[in-house]
Structure 1
C-alpha cells in the first residue's frame, strides 16, 4: 500500500522553503518512513551533494545515460516511491533521529549556500543543468518529500 501523499506544487525554492517553515511551526504527522527532521536533513544533504560538499558514489554508466533521458520528466513532476542504492541512501539519508529544529536549520544553511553559488556544478546524476533546471529539480524534490508531511487539524 502506498503512503498517503499531499499533492504540492512549488514555483520557487523560496516557496518550498516557506512550506517547510510552515510545517515546522505547526503540529504535523508524516506518512512514509521518515520524521519531519529527517526529511529536512535529507533536503539539506541534497543541496550539499549539488554543491559537491558531500560526495556521492559514482552512478553506473547505464544509470547516467538513463538519467539524461528522464531528466525532462523529473523536472516537470515530483517522483516518489523509488529506492536509492544503499551507498547513495547512506549519503542522502540519516537513520539517526533529527529534531525538526536541527533539520530545518541545516536546510536553511544549505539553501543559502546553494542560492549564493553561481554557477552551480554539474549535477552528480543529471549532468550539466541551467540554474532554472537546478531550481526546478529542487522544487520537485521538495514536493515529493514534503508531500509526506501532513498538518494536523485542531
Structure 2
C-alpha cells in the first residue's frame, strides 16, 4: 500500500525552502519511512551533492545513459518510491535519527550555498544542466519528499 502523499508544486527554490521552514515550525506527522528531520537532512545532502561537496558513488553506465532520457520527465513531475542503490542510499539518507532542528539547520546551510553558487557543477546523474534545470530538479525533489510530511491541525 502506498504511503499518503500531499501534492505540492513549487515554482522556485524559495517556495520549496519556505515550505520546509513552515513544516519544521509546525506540528506534523509523516507518512513513509522517514522522520521530518531525516527528510530535511536528505534534502540538505542532495544540495551538497549537486555542488560536489558530498561525494556520490558513480552510477553504472546504463543508468547514466537512461538518466539523459528521463531528465525531461523528472524536471516536470515529482516522483516518489524510487529505490536508490545501497551505496547511494548510504550517502543521501541518514541511517540514524535526526532532530527536526538539526535537519533544518543543515538544510538552511546547504540551501544558502546552493543559491549563492556562481555556477552549479555538472550533475552527477543527469549531466550538464542549466541553473534553471538544477533548481527545477531540486523543486521536484522537495515536492516529492515534503509531500510525505503532513501538518497536524
Q: So what's the TM-score if we normalise by structure 2?
A: 0.99
Instruction: Report the secondary structure of 1:48's partner residue.
Output: helix
Residue 22 of structure 2: SS of its match in structure 1? helix
Q: Which residue of 1 aligns with 2:54?
A: 54
SS at match of 1:29: strand
Q: How far has the Cα of 1:119 moved from its partner?
A: 1.2
CA shift at 1:72, angstroms? Answer: 0.2
**Equivalence map 1:1-154=2 (5 Å):** 1-153=1-153
By how many angstroms is 1:102 displaced?
0.5
SS of the residue corresponding to residue 150 of structure 1 reads: strand
Rounded to whole Å, the distance in 1 between the matches of 2:130 and 2:118 is 10
Number of corresponding residues: 153
Structure 1: gaps spanning 5 or more residues: none
Q: What whole-Å deviation, never above 9, does each CA across 1:55-108 have from its counterpart, x for those lacking one?
A: 000001100000000000000000101100000000000111100010000000
How far apart, CA to CA, are the structure 2 residues paired with 1:108 and 1:119?
19
Return 5+ residue gaps in structure 2 as ranges: none
Equivalent-residue separation in structure 2 for 1:133 and 1:119 (angstroms): 12
If the length of structure 1 is used for normalisation, what is the TM-score? Answer: 0.98
